[in-house]
Amino acid sequence: MISLIEDLYPICRSIMGPGTRSTLDRIASEIPITREGVASGTQVLDWIVPDEWEVRDAYIAREGSDERLVDFRASNLHVVSHSVAVDAVVDRDELDEHLHSLPDRPDAVPYRTSYYSPTWGFCVSHDQRAALPAGDYHVVIDSTLAPGRLEWGELLIPGEIDREMLITTHICHPSLVNDNLSGIAALVEVGRWLASVNRRYSYRLLFLPGTIGSISWLAQATSIQRIDHGLVITGLGDPSGFTYKRSRRGHRDIDRIAAEVLRHVEGSRVVDFSPYGYDERQFCSPGFDLPVGRLTRGVHGEYPEYHTSADDFDFFSGHQLDTAVDLLVDVVDAVEANRTYRNTSPYGEVQLGRRGLYRSTGGAIDSQAVEMAYLWVLNASDGTTDLCDIAHQSGLRPAVISEAVRRLVEADLLEIA
Ligand code: ZN
């Protein structure tokens, strides 16, 4: 995952254009995504796909000097994404109207976009902005906005049934590590794992340009009715604990399952849906109203590194990303396991001892906890209570409940209701 992130970091991504295309190329070298897309000018739901943006060079210099004071080659964050071309001499006041900086974080360069209104601009640290003296400046942005194609990557991993779990991440940010390269790397890793194991559900992975990408996908998708569970993932490598954001209705299976898994992970929190954030806004728009939640660590806008040059390799930790992938695996396992069973011997307690169900288990699963789970599962499995509810009632980890169920099924004490 780290080498993928290192390869992707220097690429100047936006919602469309060569940077996004080479990002999808790099992802395709890891997992077999297909490339889908729509042309500029296409109406997608209430939106119109904009022109493609390509930037080759950009800088600010004092008029008459070759020395670049602000240089796109040093960081692609210096140019406002989708800036129109400019080659002009401007005075200090006019230059200032096109500069973006963060007074409360004066050493960081902000990330700014202008996809839908034609303008140009530079992002600089506030310290650098304050140090620019009066005088004339030569500003150059060598860019093109022209009709092209919005593209995304899609991978369907078929399972035993055609009901689907959707997992998506955005791919449109330039040199920012946590938001959004950590999400890309985690989704690639989860995709590799899903392809290597037998699964009941089918899994659809989407690598989407933010907002316009998910809207374009939703506008053409024929699989929406098959989505039983979904997650938008990003921001998984920062120092914070996990945050799960519920889907619009707040009590869909994915919401209950994610909450049960996270209950056992220290420092985690579960928050209600709000119509602000990442692509869950589109999946949870009222017309679609899909069971799609969001998993991040820190929440966008709540950490000072967010959307600035400080979202770099110092802010990110490979260990945090690893444990995020482990958590995603736990959530998928719990989704797979969450069924409703019936106790086949419901009159009186089952005599577990004579069925060889008390044995040391070893490994990660605590045998005492599994023995407690036998009692909970057998008592609660009356044909109406699913495993997620049993995990909730018992306070036991979903993985412990699943292991107990596996053994009780093997002993013919449980059947699918
Ligand atoms: Zn972002």
Predicted pLDDT of residue 364: 56
Predicted pLDDT of residue 367: 84
Same-domain check for residues 263 and 316: yes
CATH number for the domain harbouring residue 160:
3.40.630.10
Same-domain check for residues 214 and 355: no
Predicted pLDDT of residue 359: 67
Predicted pLDDT of residue 363: 59
Same-domain check for residues 330 and 390: no
Same-domain check for residues 153 and 244: yes
Contact 273, 248 (CB under 8 A): yes
> How many domains is the chain built from?
3
Same-domain check for residues 126 and 270: no
For 98-119, how does the pLDDT look when each residue is reduced to its tens digit (9 = 90+)? 999 999 999 999 999 999 999 9
Q: Which of 146, 168, 199 finishes a domain?
A: 146
Contact 192, 200 (CB under 8 A): no
Give the distance (Å) from ligand 1 centre to CA of residue 246: 19
Give the distance (Å) from ligand 1 centre to CA of residue 217: 19
Give the distance (Å) from ligand 1 centre to CA of residue 278: 8
For 209-223, how does the pLDDT look when each residue is reduced to its tens digit (9 = 90+)? 999 999 999 999 999
Instruction: Give the range of the structural domain holding residue 390, as residue numbers without chain letter.
Output: 341-416
Predicted pLDDT of residue 334: 98
Contact 373, 403 (CB under 8 A): yes
Same-domain check for residues 313 and 349: no
Same-domain check for residues 201 and 298: yes
Same-domain check for residues 317 and 382: no
Give the distance (Å) from ligand 1 centre to CA of residue 236: 12
Same-domain check for residues 206 and 115: no
CATH number for the domain harbouring residue 408:
1.10.10.10
Predicted pLDDT of residue 390: 98
For 349-365, how does the pLDDT look when each residue is reduced to its tens digit (9 = 90+)? 999 888 888 865 555 56
d(CA 310, CA 74): 14
Give the distance (Å) from ligand 1 centre to CA of residue 222: 28
Same-domain check for residues 325 and 187: yes
Give pLDDT < 70 ranges for the chain.
359-365
Predicted pLDDT of residue 297: 98
Give the distance (Å) from ligand 1 centre to CA of residue 9: 14
Give the distance (Å) from ligand 1 centre to CA of residue 209: 11
CATH number for the domain harbouring residue 73:
3.50.30.90
Q: Residue 377: is it exposed, middle or buried by C-beta count within 10 angstroms (0-12/13-18/19+)?
A: buried
